[in-house]
Amino acid sequence: MAEMTDVFFVDGMRTPFGRAGEKGMYWNTRADDLVVKAIIGLMERNGDVPKDRIDDVAIAATSQTGDQGLTLGRTAAILAGLPMTVPGLAIERMCAGAMTSVTTMGASIGVGMYDLALAGGVEHMGRHPIGGNVDPNPRFVAEKLVDPGALNMGVTAERIHDRFPHLTKERADRFGAASQHKVQAAYEAGKIQPDLVSVAVKDAEGAWGLATEDEGRRPETTVEGLATLKTPFRPHGRVTAGTSSPLTDGATISLLAGAGAVKEFGLAPKMRMVSFAFAGVEPEIMGIGPIPSTEKALKKAGLTIDDIGLFELNEAFAIQVISLLDHFGIADDDPRVNPWGGAIALGHPLAASGVRLMIQLAAQFAERPDVRYGLTAMCVGLGQGGSVIWENPFFDGKKKRK
């Protein structure tokens, strides 16, 4: 008889993230090969887990077409050498694809239907630009269900500035520069590299190389420099390339397990899932989505925002993160928030990013036994937010820091 169980994030890995487009390192690499490489790396690092015991593989992609359009979970499982008995599926929730892969597989484990699952996402934004192969229903505009600008993420970010004038461009510029500097510091300290899977890549001349680091980092960024950048989404606007996540290619994968599997295979989980929630908001200001989803997740967990000791918030745009922090009364530069930087520097390969947040939070938990709970949260195109609250298995109850 199946029984309810705790859900654990055992491990997670990802490819280095590359700049999208012809000049990016993955221009000649298939999207499905990126996620296959991540799965192989994760399974090799967790060799005590029998491949035939994986109950399901959920892989997300926003643009489900071409080389990321053939039931990705199943095709990637086969290509990664998992037994033919392992099933798989594809998931699509735009930016929160990988996050939804995790919550869907986690829920299946939680109710006792699965013991072990793989969950992740991939996005090759160079091959598949967001919205590049879609046909939105004309009713959205004709019946004024959604403003046409809602399909342009940068326009939605400008509208958060409109709605909250005290969230200034200067604050966003400071946040954007800080993200670059924090990522560089984390790289120099060797924090990020252990969870990266190297990928063989071929350049335009046919020469082979190895992708080992995130490509889009700009550690030389200054607040003064950001102040001079153009505002591409609106004349005299406030959102710039320096306060936006760059277009990015990359893949992520995680291994989830129930309590029985953890015991059976002697696994050492990095996090325990406490609660999760998704919420909808007006598509025109999709960036505020994580506010209601976080409130829902906190309520389900019986926690308050003060219980969260670490935040991994997806930096689709600086203003989007700042709006959440402002709502909860958290300073823009609070050390609990994205301590190793975020998507403004690392990149945001849409459907892959949710697990990138989890990978970083898990690594920080191991260093921070004083922190009991952490939050991974992100905004989602078309007006949604997603939040997952995690518990630190290394929490020792000592000197919890604010």
Q: Which residues are catalytic?
A: 95, 348, 379
Amino acid at 109: I
What tokens appear for 325 in the block? Answer: 């922090």
Dist. CA 203–CA 205, nearest whole Å = 5
In 3-state terms, what secondary structure has residue 67?
helix
Q: How far apart are CA 144 and CA 369, in angstroms?
A: 50
- Give CA–CA dist 251/318, Å, rounded: 23
Residues 85, 50: Cα–Cα separation, whole Å: 12
Token pair, residue 18, equals 């590359």
User: Are 381 and 93 spatial neighbours (Cβ–Cβ below 8 Å)?
Assistant: no
DSSP E strands in 39-130: the ranges are 56-60, 88-91, 116-124
CA distance 70 to 81: 17
CA–CA separation, 185 vs 205, rounded Å? 33
Instruction: Extract the tokens encoding 219.
Output: 């550690």
Q: Which amino acid is at 244?
A: S
